[in-house]
Chains A and B, each alone.
Chain A
Amino acid sequence: MFTKFFHSLRSKGLHVTLGEFLTLQDALSQNLCGSSLTQFYYVARMILVKSETDYDKFDMAFEECFKAAEHEGEITSQMMRWLDKSDLQELADEEARAQLNELEDLQVHMDKEEVEQKFKERLRDQDSEHNGGSFWIGSMGKTSFGNSGGNVGGLRVGGKTGHQSAFAVIGERKYRDFRDDRVLDNRQFQMAFRKLRQFSSRLDIPETELDINGTVDKTCNNGGCLQIVMQKPRKNAVKLLLLMDSGGTMIPYSSLLNDLFQAVHKSNHYKDVKSYYFHNCIYSKLYKTPECENGDWIDTDWMFRNLDSDYKVLIVGDAAMAPEELYSDTGNYRGPNGGLSGWEWLHLVKKHYKKIVWLNPKMAPGHAPWREAETAVKGLFPMYKLTADGLNQAMVKLMVNK
C-alpha cells in the first residue's frame, strides 16, 4: 500500500527506511489515522520525518501523491498553509529579486520563458550525466538556475573554473566531499594542530582515573586500610569551529582542503569540532556539506546562539569574490542574504568569537589592491597562507592571549 508514496519520499531526498514505512503500515492497520487524510498526514509525518528541516520535503511528496484526494476543501486550505510555511517561497522570492537585479546589472533582457526553457534543457542534460539531479535543483529550478539566464553575461556553466570574478559558477557536482577517506601524508598539518591544546582538569567530566599518589597517601594516613582516590582525567578544552569555502574558485585547492579537514578530524583531542561550509562569503546560512546544496544548511544565527564565543574559529577561503558579493545586501546569488551584506555578516562573526584566523590558499604576498575583497577581509581577520608554515603561525595566533 502506498508504495508510490514511499518512492516519492525517497526521490525528494528523505531517507525513509523500510522499517519506518512498515511502522506506518502498522499504524494504519491499528486504525490510528481513522479515515481522515489530515490525521494520516500527521501520523505519516511523525513516523517518517525526523527533523523539522525535512518537513518541507515531506509536504512536497505528500502533495504529489495525494493530490487526487484534495476534494475535501478543508484539506486544500490546510495544505496551502503548510506549503506557505516552507522557506521555499521566501527563498524563491529572494532569488527572483536577486535575479532581477542581476539581469538589470548585466543589461541582459531575456524573455523569462526563454530562461526557463534553457534551464530545463540543462537540467535534463545534467540528469543523464549525473544520475538524477537532486530534489532541490528540481524545485528551485526556476529560481536559482534561472540565474543561468546570465549565461550570455559571462557566467560559466561547467568547464574549468579559475575565472576568479565570474559572478556565478554553476558546479556540476565537482565538489568533492572532503571526507573522502584518502590516505594522505598530512602529518605536517596534524603536527600544527597539536599546538592547539589547552589542558584543563576543571572540565565538567566525571572522576574516572585512579589517582595513584593520592590513593597511597590516603591509605597510609588511614592506617593501611585502603582508601581510593579518583581524579578527573586531563582533557583538552579547545573547541574548534572550522568554516570552509567550497566550490567555485576553491576547486583547484580541494585536495589541500581535504588534507586540512582530515588533519583536524584525526587530531581527535579536541573537546569539540564543528565544521560548516560556505560559498565565497558567509551569509545568513551555513551549509553542512561541501556541496553547499540549498536546504542542507543551518542558520548563521543558530551558530551564534549555540556555539559560544570560546570556540576558536578557523576560516578557510580564498576571499576571492566580486566586490558586490561582499558589499551588497543582495550579493549572495546562491542563497538568502538575510538582509545583511557579506561584509556585515563577517563583522558579526568577528564580534561573536574571540579568536579567529583566516587561512587563504592563494594569498597575495604583501599589499594587493587589485584583489579588493581579499584586502578588505585581510583588514578584518588575521590572514595566513594555507601552508604548513602558515598554519603553524595561525595556530599560535589562536592560542595566545591578547
Chain B
Amino acid sequence: MNEQIGKSGFAGSRDYVASEELMASVNVAIALKKPLLIKGEPGTGKTMLAEAVAASLGKKLIIWNIKSTTKAQEGLYVYDTIQRLYDGQFGEAGVDDIARYIKLGKLGEAFDSDEQVVLLIDEIDKADLEFPNDLLWELDQMEFYVHETKRTVKAKQRPIVIITSNAEKELPDAFLRRCIFHYIDFPDEALMEEIVRVHYPDVEDNLLKSAMEVFYNIRSLRDIRKKPSTSELIDWINALQLGGISAEKIKSALPFIGVVVKKDEDLETVRHAGGL
C-alpha cells in the first residue's frame, strides 16, 4: 500500500473488511477524481463499501437507489408541474416562482452540498440501457443546467462517487471509460472467516467451521440457481447462534437452511445432494 494515500485515505473500517486491492481502488478513485465502479456477485458487500468509506472518511453518504424505472433526470432535478398547476388554480402565492417547484434529485443534492459527500449510485445496471450515458456529462463535469430557472448547479465540493453493478446488463463503453473499475472477488475461506468474525467476534470455532464448510459446499453444487452470498452466510450464522444449534447438527440436519437457500428448486437440489 502506498504510504501517501494510505495515511489520508480509506483503509477499511471496523465493520468492513476490505482487501488491499479494493482499498487501493478507492484511494486511486478519490485521487483521480473519477467515479469508482464496483462489480461483483450479489452479497459481496458492494453497497456496504460506500457506507464504510463514508464512515471512515467522516463524510455524509447520499444513496441513490436505482430501479428499473429510474430516469437519469430524476437524479438531477424534478420540475413538479402538476403541483404548480394545482397551486395556480387556487391562486396561491409564489406560483410565478418556478424555483419553488424545482426539486433536486440525489445527484443534485450531492452537488449542492456545502461539504464533500460520498454519493452511492446503487445497482446502476437495474436501470434502462441508456441510463449511464445520460449521466456522462454530469459525472464528468460535476454540473448540470436547470432549464426552467436557467441556473447551473455545480458541485461545490466534488463528491466521491461510488457506483455498484450486479452485471445484469452490459454498461456502455463511453461510461466505462470514465470510471475506475474494481471487481470484488468472492471471498476465499480465510477472508470469509475474518468477515464473519467482524460481525460476530465471539462465534464458536466449531460452529463457524461446519457452517462455512456447508456454505462452500452448497456454492459448489452445479445446479444451484442462486448461489448463497456473504450476507446470507452471516445471517445464517446468526440464526444458528440464536437457535443454539450444536456444530455437529449443522451438517446432518441443515437447520434454518432457508436463510441460505432461497429458491424452491435450490432447496430441492441441496436436499438431493445430501451428505454435505
Contacts and interface: CB of A to CB of B under 8 A. Distances in A.
Interface of A: 15, 17, 19-20, 23, 26-27, 30-34, 36, 39, 42-43, 46-47, 49-52, 55, 204-206, 225-226, 228, 301, 304-306, 339
Contacts of A50: 37, 171, 173, 176-177, 179, 181
A46 B31 contact: no
Nearest to A339: B222
Interface stretch (B1-9, B92-100, B102-110, B189-197): B1-9
8 contacts: A27-B32, A34-B4, A42-B21, A42-B24, A43-B24, A50-B173, A50-B181, A52-B39
A226 B39 contact: no
Nearest to B74: A206
Contacts of A34: 2-4
A55 B1 CA distance: 21
Contacts of A51: 39, 176, 181
A205 B69 contact: yes
A245 B256 CA distance: 44
B39 A32 contact: no
Q: Give the interface size bracket for B toward A.
A: 35 or more
Interface of B: 1-5, 21, 24-25, 27-28, 31-32, 34, 37, 39, 67-69, 82, 85-86, 89, 168, 171, 173, 176-177, 179-183, 222, 225-226
Nearest to B90: A225
Contacts of A204: 67-69
Contacts of A33: 2
A270 to B, nearest CB: 13
Contacts of A225: 89
B163 to A, nearest CB: 12
Contact of A15 (B4, B173, B225, B226): B173
A227 to B, nearest CB: 8
B41 to A, nearest CB: 10
Contacts of B68: 204-205
B4 A31 contact: yes
A46 B22 CA distance: 10
Nearest to A274: B169
Contact of B183 (A20, A47, A55, A306): A55
A299 B272 CA distance: 24
Q: Which are the 7 A-B pairs with shortest beta-carbon distances?
A: A50-B176, A52-B183, A34-B2, A50-B181, A46-B25, A206-B69, A46-B180
Contact of A32 (B21, B28, B69): B28
B262 to A, nearest CB: 12
Nearest to A45: B181
Contacts of A47: 28, 32, 180-181
Contacts of A206: 69
Contacts of A226: 85-86, 89
A53 B27 CA distance: 23
Nearest to B86: A226
A222 B83 CA distance: 16
B67 to A, nearest CB: 8
Contacts of B225: 304-305
A216 to B, nearest CB: 15
Contact of A26 (B32, B39, B85): B32
B181 to A, nearest CB: 5
Contacts of B5: 32
Contact of B177 (A17, A26, A306): A17
A46 B89 contact: no
Contacts of B27: 32
Contacts of B171: 50
A226 B222 CA distance: 59
Contacts of A306: 168
Contacts of A305: 225-226
Contacts of A339: 222
A26 B168 CA distance: 32
Most chain B Cβ neighbours within 10 Å, of A26, A43, A205: A43
Contacts of B168: 306
Contacts of B25: 42, 46
A79 B181 CA distance: 20
A33 B3 CA distance: 10
A23 B86 contact: no
Contacts of B222: 301, 339
A27 B85 contact: no
Contacts of A43: 24, 28
A32 B31 contact: yes
Most chain B Cβ neighbours within 10 Å, of A19, A43, A50, A228: A50
B30 to A, nearest CB: 10
Contact of A46 (B3, B69, B85, B182): B182
A50 B179 CA distance: 8
A49 B226 CA distance: 27
B4 A46 contact: no
A20 B174 CA distance: 11
A39 B32 contact: no
Given A43-B28, A50-B179, 9 more contacts: A23-B34, A30-B31, A39-B24, A42-B24, A49-B181, A50-B173, A226-B89, A228-B82, A301-B222
A388 B122 CA distance: 44
Nearest to B179: A50
A205 B68 CA distance: 8
A182 to B, nearest CB: 24
B177 A19 contact: yes
B267 to A, nearest CB: 16
B135 to A, nearest CB: 16
A34 to B, nearest CB: 4
B233 to A, nearest CB: 18
Nearest to A36: B2
A304 B183 CA distance: 22
Contact of A20 (B2, B69, B177): B177
A39 B39 contact: no
A27 B31 contact: yes
A256 B92 CA distance: 64
B215 to A, nearest CB: 18
Contacts of A49: 181
